[in-house]
A and B are shown apart, each in its own frame.
Chain A
């Protein structure tokens, strides 16, 4: 539904402020475009349901 579509431009502006990443005006449109692309590409992962028993498999060895 269109009304559920996130406001990616606002997300970029606010998230960048939150992590202290200055984004120059000339870079901003492409950053927005790339976050939009990421939203589309990540979709098949976001739709997967995972059981609680599935923990990550990190390489870290103490």
Chain B
């Protein structure tokens, strides 16, 4: 058990200490604010620090008789979440000139209702069109394991803040991999839930057809704890589920007995660096998973996710591209402009293919419960790196970091990323993919791997 005031403390350790009155939420918040002050010059994770608000909330938690399952847990959110009183930047300069949010986003409200304490807004790639964590307006978030390297994005600040031990829990968004890529490159646990399972109300959209929100943390238990607190219908998000919450935390200790686990072959076994394949092999060995499954047409799925993203994202921003092009991050502007010029027939075909691919992939889940795949094709690239070699082929870094995440989020499957800390070198993650609404299975596998010591996320 870690000292609840240390950077190694997990959310569940803090909540336990606050609930049992071993430590005050006020002290936990003060310790977090001090760590943030110390780490920020190096990692640049935060764009907004909410010291006054957090201290006020901590006092309320300390005065409460039933502070909730996340009592006193400091957390931060990617700055595309509405935070009352602040403009919702979404990584942009343009939105920062816009109106201030009237109230917090739905997931912030749910976490705070469970006792957690928001301490700030986090850096991100502009308008979430990013896999690197770089940002021309606010500077890049830097990987705490090696500040000369990328955090991955677009939830780069979320990865940096949790990996640096500034906070034990952060929220991010994932349209094509933006939770899973930084989880992998920063060596963290990340959960991209089933599409529609968590409310997106009060967050700035990117691609409505593919946008998901979810947590990044340093333990499986913290993913489950926060996920359970955020579940449930919300009429303010038209895509949000009507299903009642189904807690995952009580099932973590069940182990992997009865779960059928296989490795994704074909597309997912090619195009990655050796460390990506080795990570999957290590996890497969620990789980005794020797069976391989093929997700049919994964390359077309990645292409379709790319097309939907390019066209929907560009359409959303077209008015701003016409009137304020000079105020965009140069690394997103011309990609958005290009997306606005692509044929509409591509978009409709991608949506039709989505249904076809979904039907075929869901058939696989009659025979298997969890599928293993690499999360990223490589460990963290250097900041500013534009091209990289994958399997001997020169490819753009920005588009390629999501090669293995895009075919999965495309059909909204739930995924837990588990981090492998490598003795020599940077961490890398593995995706544990389950059928829709079976986050529980992926979390059980993650908890088992963590207990076996195969995966872990100590702060850098």
Seen from chain A, the residues whose Cβ lies within 8 Å of a Cβ on chain B are 11-12, 15-16, 19-24, 27, 30-31, 33-35, 37-38, 41-48, 50, 54-61
Contacts and interface: CB of A to CB of B under 8 A. Distances in A.
Nearest to B328: A27
B355 A38 contact: no
A27 B307 contact: no
Contacts of B396: 37
B145 interface: no
Contacts of A30: 334
Q: How large is the interface on B (under 10, 10 to 19, 20 to 34, 35 or more residues)?
A: 35 or more
Interface stretch (B18-26, B335-343, B363-371): B335-343
B338 A56 contact: no
Contacts of B351: 56-58
Contacts, number: 107
B353 to A, nearest CB: 6
B341 A12 contact: yes
Given A50-B352, A56-B348, A16 B304 contact: no
Chain B CB within 10 A, most for which of A15, A45, A61: A45
A45 B322 contact: no
Interface stretch (B29-37, B41-49, B294-302): B294-302
The 6 closest A-B CB pairs, nearest first, are A34-B338, A56-B351, A30-B334, A45-B303, A15-B341, A57-B355
Given A37-B396, A54-B356, A57-B355, A45 B307 contact: yes
21 contacts: A11-B341, A16-B341, A21-B318, A22-B322, A27-B337, A34-B335, A35-B341, A38-B310, A44-B297, A44-B299, A44-B303, A45-B353, A47-B300, A48-B349, A48-B356, A55-B352, A56-B351, A59-B208, A59-B238, A59-B239, A60-B238
B36 to A, nearest CB: 36
Contacts of B75: none
B434 interface: no
Given A27-B325, A37-B399, A38-B342, A46 B349 contact: yes
Interface string B313-352: 0000010011001000000011101111110001011111
A21 to B, nearest CB: 6
Interface in B273-320: 297, 299-300, 302-304, 306-307, 310, 318
Chain B CB within 10 A, most for which of A23, A33, A47, A60: A23
Given A21-B321, A55-B355, 4 more contacts: A22-B322, A31-B338, A42-B303, A57-B358
A43 to B, nearest CB: 7
Chain B CB within 10 A, most for which of A21, A48, A59: A48
A4 to B, nearest CB: 16
B271 interface: no
Task: Please report whether the interface of chain B is mostly helix, strand, loop or mixed according to DSSP.
Answer: helix
Given A27-B325, A56-B355, A57-B351, A42 B302 contact: no
B109 interface: no
Contacts of A22: 322, 325
B209 interface: yes
A44 B340 contact: no
B211 to A, nearest CB: 11
B16 interface: no
B354 interface: yes
B220 to A, nearest CB: 29
B153 interface: no
B213 to A, nearest CB: 15
A43 B307 CA distance: 10
B337 A21 contact: yes
Interface in B249-293: none
B91 interface: no
A58 B321 CA distance: 27
B196 interface: yes
Contacts of A27: 325, 333-334, 337
B331 to A, nearest CB: 10
Nearest to A48: B300
A19 B307 CA distance: 19
B342 A35 contact: yes
B354 A56 contact: yes
Contacts of B334: 27, 30-31, 33-34
B355 A21 contact: no
Nearest to A56: B351
A35 B302 CA distance: 17
A57 to B, nearest CB: 4
